[in-house]
Amino acid sequence: MMAELVSQSMPAISIKKMRAITPENVGKFLGQRSANIYALRERFQTGLQNPQNIAKGVELTNLLQSQKEKPGVSSLLHVINITSMLIADFAKDVEQVESKVLQAFKRALGQPSHKEAVDFFQGFAKGLTIKGITLKGMARETTATPIYGKMFMHWQEVDRLSSVPQLKVFLLKNGLTEAIIGDISRLRRLCTRIGYAPGKRGRPPKFEK
């Protein structure tokens, strides 16, 4: 599931190809991470520049709190809480990425192989030119993205489900529509694609930063 979401937000790289650690792949990865940081900064700045957006956000949260018993509302509040934590982690992640990029630049400039240095910097340039995140969402977002996103945000509850039909009922109760989810056959195919087997316990894998 996480690999699918990562691939949608990192179009410059291939998860399978990244298993081979080469100067170009390292450069692409760091370039893509940097491009996404620029994109996220733009999104945050766009939202925070207008004080009315902040006031509307607070107003909306209070309204949701008063209606949290309604289907989908508690899920939305949960997503807001998780998003708040992710934003806090984002600030830390920016510092780590910047530090890794600077270290990688120093190593690339200091190593003896001119070709490997060229491969690294060309890879970085390629990754940096492609934004994986835009104001509209992830660059490779598909009709299945809302399903994957909902499952990821509610991984603890999803982890306790024992069948795909139960998953569909859960998704419907938590804000997704029949049109978004599709029939059981489609949902089964999506679960197979991300390796999700209902009844099999375990937290979604995390990628090292």
Please report which confidence band the pLDDT of residue 44 belongs to, taking 50, 70 and 90 as the band edges.
low
Rounded average pLDDT over 61-83? 58
Looking at residue 142, what is its pLDDT?
87
Rounded to 10 degrees, the C-alpha dihedral 205/18/16/148 comes to: 40
Looking at residue 179, what is its pLDDT?
93
Centroid of chain to Cα 141: 10
This model's pTM is above 0.75: no
Residue 93: pLDDT over 80: no
Sequence length of the chain is: 209
Picking from 32, 43, 42, the residue whose alpha carbon sits closest to that of residue 140 is 32
What secondary structure does DSSP assign to the chain, as a single string?
-HHHHHHHH-TTS-TTGGGS--HHHHHHHHHHHHHHHHHHHHHHHHHHSSHHHHHHHHHHHHHHHHTTTSTTHHHHHHHHHHHHHHHHHHHHHHHHHHHHHHHHHHHHHHSS-HHHHHHHHHHHHHHHHS-SEETTEETT--TTHHHHHHHHHTHHHHHT--SHHHHHHHHHHTT--HHHH--HHHHHHHHHHHT--TT---PPP----
Looking at residue 33, what is its pLDDT?
85
Look up residue 114 and give its two tokens. Answer: 């001119």
Q: Does residue 2 or residue 84 have the better pLDDT?
A: 2
Look up residue 11 and give its two tokens. Answer: 């179009």
Looking at residue 207, what is its pLDDT?
43
pLDDT digits (tens, 9 = 90+) for 114-170: 999 999 999 999 999 987 887 677 878 888 988 988 888 788 888 889 999 999 999
Residue 205: pLDDT over 50: no
Q: Does residue 103 or residue 5 have the better pLDDT?
A: 103
Looking at residue 96, what is its pLDDT?
79
**Most confident stretch, 9-18, 34-43, 94-103, 111-120:** 111-120
Side-chain-side CA neighbours of residue 10 (13 Å) = 22
Looking at residue 208, what is its pLDDT?
44
